[in-house]
Amino acid sequence: MDFYIEDYLPLFMFGALGMLLFSGYPVAFVLGGVGLTFGFVGIYFEVFNFIQFFNLLPRIWGGIAENLVLTAIPMFIFMGTMLERSGVAADLLHCLQVLLRRVPGGLALSVTLMGTIMAATTGIIGASVVMMTLLALPVMVQRSYNTPLATGTIAASGTLGILIPPSIMLVIMADLLARSVGNLFVAAIFPGFMLAAFYMFYILVLCGFKPQLAPPLPDEEGPGSTFGIIAMVLKSFIPPLFLVFLVLGSILFGWATPTEAAGVGGAGAIFLALLKGRLNFTILKDVLERSALTGGMLFGIFLGATCFSYVFRALGGDDLVIGLVESLGLGSWGLLLILMGIVFFLGFFFDWIEITLIVLPVFSPIIAELDFGDHVAPLEVTYWFAILLAVNLQTSFLTPPFGFALFYMKGVAPPEVRIQQIYKGIIPFVILQLLGLGLVMAFPDIALWLPRVLLD
């Protein structure tokens, strides 16, 4: 067989990307630059034409700009940022703590609940883990909570947001896989709640047996009277919960498209801040600017990834990947496990934004050909795959020694919290994650049942 180096350019391209990303130069521009460079390499080998770069523009236009699905993303980012900045999130956590003060591990449970309800944070792992750490960890340390338990709970609950809708990651996955965002949201509900339930069950059992790990809050914490507690619930608990249900419900029951629901969420967050009396020009301006920066960052990677994957394809990357995979001679299950393994490994180094935007376009031809016979109906394979991917990524972010949710946490935790304690605390949660992943794999209906019932 003849060996032509130009046949393998896509592989070099991938290798170059992998190495250059570690230079610490912004991911968005490395993606664009590597795409560009290999376009020129392709021109040198006469397998690419300069004029082909023009095709980038219609792709950027059709894929990113004129795309009403992605229009939801800036509004979801705004909603999360507004809820955080206006203190709605902090009040919610405090309210949950007071409500659960007599339950074993009440603080830890309230952190998990908060992570589940407030999954609509900015969707950037770093930001949500940091927010949860800043809000909850000092209180837990002060109440002499067992440190590994506290850090494990916060890291696991803080990353739950990428799975539980309305998650920005799911919007992007649906867009890249050409599937309905609403369906994917609905499919993620049970797996997300299942994981949250696992966490809570674990915390309850552990703290039931070993109460010394999680000393309860004193009774004088929060309002003393029943009336005071009811008032607090009405003020801090019901409004954000209502907002999340409004956003999710309107998608679930088909009242609104995800984009419209995002608009409702954004306006609702402004309204909640207004109710709290914390809405003023400074906060609004600040939230808008922060959201714009987050959006600029995210769409910067989107643009770079468009450039990269276009050149990758033009150089024959798709065929190369499919050829390589076929030469492995694995069945669908083997392929699934390999893909999952790759994504898990990538999750040690990259955030979901890079992973989904680089990996999904490359692997989507393979995903389309997966066939699981009676296990999963062919039409539903993509949704199932996306959910598996989401749970897998979340697990990867939590797994020591690399899982970078843990690094973010270490960065803002009080200095007496050691990284070993964080590692120790996360292990039970990683086991729970793997259990959840295995269950969704073995019983696809955990993800696929609800969309079937609700949306057909």
Closest CA to 369 of 334, 319, 332: 332
Nearer to other proteins among residue 193 and residue 299 (C-beta) = 299
Task: Closer to other proteins by CB, 4 or 402: give it.
Answer: 402
Closest contact distance (angstroms) between CB of 249 and other proteins is 14
> What's the min distance (Å) between Cβ of 164 and other proteins?
18
Q: Alpha carbon 268 to chain centroid distance?
A: 22
Instruction: Rank residues 4 and 345 by Cβ distance to other proteins and give the closer one.
Output: 345
Distance (Å, whole) CA 115 – CA 352: 18
Nearest distance, CB of residue 155 and other proteins, angstroms: 14
Hey, what are 327's tokens?
């030469």
Tell me how far, at minimum, the Cβ of 127 lies from other proteins, in Å: 5
Three-state DSSP class for 101? coil
Report which of 363, 428, 366 is spatially closest to residue 395, judged by C-alpha positions: 428
For residue 51, the minimal CB distance to other proteins (Å) is 9
Task: Considering the complex, state which of residue 262 and residue 441 has its C-beta at the smaller distance from other proteins.
Answer: 262
**22 vs 209, beta carbon nearer other proteins:** 22
Nearer to other proteins, 120 or 301 (CB): 301
Beta-carbon contacts of 455 under 8 Å, excluding residues fewer than 6 positions away, are 182, 183, 186, 254
| Of residues 48 and 190, the one with the C-beta less far from other proteins | 48
Q: Smallest gap, in angstroms, from Cβ of residue 316 to other proteins?
A: 21
- The least distance separating other proteins from the CB of residue 79, rounded to whole angstroms, comes to 9
Min separation Cβ 418 and other proteins, Å: 19
Residue nearer to other proteins on the CB measure, 66 or 319: 66
Q: Smallest gap, in angstroms, from Cβ of residue 411 to other proteins?
A: 8
Comparing CB distances to other proteins, the nearer of 249 and 411 is 411
Q: Which residues are CB-neighbours of 257 under 8 A, at least 6 positions away?
A: 68, 181, 182, 251
Nearer to other proteins, 96 or 194 (CB): 96
Least CB distance to other proteins at residue 384 (A):
29
Q: Collapsing DSSP states into helix, strand and coil, what is residue 222?
A: coil
CB of 110 to other proteins, least distance (A): 12
Q: How deeply is 202 buried, as exposed, middle or buried, from its count of CB atoms within 10 A (0-12, 13-18, 19+)?
A: buried
Which residue number, 275 or 435, has a Cβ lying nearer to other proteins? 275
CB atoms within 10 A of CB 111: 30
